Amino acid sequence: MKFKKEMSALLITGLIVLVVVVGFYFLWLPVSVLADSGSIQESALAAPTVIPDRQLFSETQNDITVELNSARVIATGLEVGICYTAPDDGEWRPLPGRLVYGTSRIPPDEIEFFPDEKLADGKSAGWRCAAVRYAIDDLSTLSAPIEFSILRFYAPGRELYSACQELQQRLDTSLKAQAYGLKMSCKTGADGSAQVSLLEHAASVSTAEAQEALDRIASAEVPGTWKFTITDFKK
């Protein structure tokens, strides 16, 4: 009788341990899998850590100011830290040019944006920062002076909005549109693009100036070029 009680106690204890182990396994396994898959996504979204609080160079063209804040050697090549103003609250992105030094002409490899940004609100410009990376096979060839450039800025449409909704939101947050008192009519074309007409503008600007400003905003592009010469970089 005593033997049966001991066996029953052992069996119950074993079942409890098994349940705890199985429960622990199924409790933590999904978390681990999610963390592994999420780390790939987060690595693409994580903030770069290279832009210091000091400004090295600054250049303004077509109402956009670009600041070059850092340049450093990384495992895969060279990383250049920049910040820039955004004319409205569109998702403005830079198109970097080739990195030029000696006889080398290196195309940009990737760009990573800081998650913290200031959105334009029609009264002040937006502010975004990013790290532009260039893949260099032989880092021993890298030497100053290095020419870095931004060819243009562009604001791709967001899936959340139609073409006219996107444009209206950008118009409402554009410093120039507010200063010029721009009002528009907009229809979505068969191809999904915005067909825009100027309705009103401030008396202080001509119709030609207002139309040019509206056309520029509707194009969602600001041409450059913003050029910088890097004479020193961190290794």
Mean pLDDT of 184-202: 92
Torsion angle, alpha carbons of 56, 61, 66, 68, to 10: -30
Residue 34 lies in a domain: no
Specify the DSSP class assigned to residue 141.
Answer: G
Longest dimension (CA), the chain: 105
Q: Are residues 116 and 226 part of one domain?
A: yes
User: Residue 3: its pLDDT value, please?
Assistant: 39
Q: Are residues 77 and 187 in the same domain?
A: no
Within-domain flag for 40: no
Residue 93 maps to which CATH number? 2.60.40.1630
> What range does the domain containing 194 cover?
163-219
Are 103 and 167 in the same domain?
no
Residues 123 and 146 in one domain: yes
Domain count within the chain: 2
Q: Is there a single domain that holds both residue 142 and residue 61? A: yes
With 0-12 CB in 10 A as exposed, 13-18 as middle and 19+ as buried, what is 95?
middle
pLDDT at 190: 85
Specify if 193 maps to a domain: yes
pLDDT digits (tens, 9 = 90+) for 11-42: 444 434 333 333 333 322 222 222 222 221 22
pLDDT digits (tens, 9 = 90+) for 66-88: 999 999 999 999 999 999 999 99
CA-CA-CA-CA torsion sign (80, 83, 89, 94): negative
Is residue 80 assigned to a domain? yes
Rounded average pLDDT over 129-144:
95
Could you tell me if 80 and 189 lie in one domain?
no
- Would you state the structure tokens that stand for residue 21, as one six-digit string? 């182990």
Residue scoring higher pLDDT (46 or 33) = 46
Could you tell me if 112 and 188 lie in one domain?
no
